[in-house]
Chain A
Amino acid sequence: MQLIRIAAGVCALAGAMAAGAPLAAQAAGERIRITGEIIDTWCYFSGVMGGPEAVVGSAHHTCALWCSAGGIPVGLLGEDGEVYMVLKIEGDDASAGGDTQLRLASHEITADGMLYRRDGLNYLVVAEVVADAGIVNHSHDDFGVTPGFAIPEPAE
């Protein structure tokens, strides 16, 4: 009888997992203070504009504005090299093209907030931007601008 109950439990677990039920629960958050650059995650992850070093900082600033305004998620590229997907900044939950994240494009900030980890990604809810150092990565010295058409050719 006990074996039958165990087998039934196993089947129920498998069915629930297939439906995604227990895995759909929210992850537990942890308090974090982290410093890094607000980046355009699609260009960073996809490589569509070049390698990771070319799609951060001043070289990529205009594209980062376009992508942020275009509703592509922004992330914080931490000093630890990890990307933290930003879901909210100082009460502003407009993560799909909002003004707060747009204003911080390419800036190095120190953020205090909550970190959540789920399915291989880091998620950040920023309670406070403790420091905003502006753009400190002058990557245009090495890469020019990415993409090359970011700056329109001046009229003659």
Chain B
Amino acid sequence: MRRLVMLAALLAAGPLGAQDFSAGSEARSWNLYAEQPARFEARVVDMLCAVTGDCPENCGAGRRQIGLLRAADGVLVYPNKNAQPIFTGAAVDLLPFCGADVEVDGLMLDDPDIGARNIYLVQRVRRLDGGEWVNAQSWTEDWAARNPDADGEGPWFRRDPRVGALIEKDGYLGLGPEVDAAFIEDWF
């Protein structure tokens, strides 16, 4: 009986204890303090659905964050970032795979001192049923399609209408135009 209990513990601990998913990863380093290359298989899920059971069609159709339910151990991985180095999340890139079993490659952040567990930067994704790798960098293209009047020079975040309206109202520091003006005079 004791041997069976030990066997059960060993089997149970196997997938749960496997924290190294770097094998085969071709992820590009971002030189982040807590990054580790991580390539693994997962099911693409709606985060709110996975956490609370509130599950609309198509993972929320673009409104919601998208998660990765890792096949090896059932851990819910939270992709916070796509592969573009310009303030862009991962939901746009993962939504087309809602409900699908995929393989992803990217960087895992694990820094318990500040609460970062299973935080992921996805760089590429492919369907397990034979799909080609797709680079996770479609956010800006999606943004441009949603903001046809925001064309012009400079990166998206300088031209985004919602961001621009809030900065115009509250300033870059968010404390009002007067605080902004005094700071800018000193800053430059």
Contacts and interface: CB of A to CB of B under 8 A. Distances in A.
A73 B80 contact: yes
A120 B115 CA distance: 8
Chain B binding surface SS class: mixed
Contact of B64 (A17, A82, A95): A95
Given A121-B118, A144-B187, A73 B73 contact: no
Interface residues of A, number: 75
A145 B114 CA distance: 21
Contacts of A150: 172
Nearest to A114: B52
A93 B49 CA distance: 11
A32 interface: no
B174 to A, nearest CB: 4
Nearest to A87: B48
Interface stretch (B21-29, B124-132, B157-165): B157-165
Interface residues of B, number: 74
B72 interface: yes
A58 B89 CA distance: 22
A118 B7 CA distance: 26
A51 B121 CA distance: 19
A61 B174 contact: yes
A54 B98 CA distance: 35
B173 A42 contact: no
Contacts, number: 217
Interface of B: 1, 4, 7-8, 11-12, 14-16, 30, 32-35, 43, 47-48, 50-54, 60, 62-66, 69-78, 80-81, 86-92, 109, 111-112, 114-119, 121, 139, 156-158, 160, 162-163, 166-167, 172-175, 183-184, 187-188
* From A46, A116, A140, residue with most partner B Cβ within 10 Å: A46
11 contacts: A10-B4, A17-B16, A17-B73, A22-B74, A45-B115, A61-B172, A70-B88, A116-B51, A122-B115, A135-B174, A140-B183
Chain A binding surface SS class: mixed
B52 A65 contact: no
Contacts of B71: 18-20
Given A22-B74, A41-B80, A45-B116, A151 B184 contact: yes
Given A23-B75, A46-B34, A71-B91, 16 more contacts: A10-B4, A11-B11, A13-B11, A13-B12, A20-B70, A42-B89, A45-B115, A48-B32, A66-B163, A73-B78, A94-B64, A97-B91, A119-B76, A120-B112, A121-B117, A153-B188
A78 to B, nearest CB: 10
B187 A95 contact: no
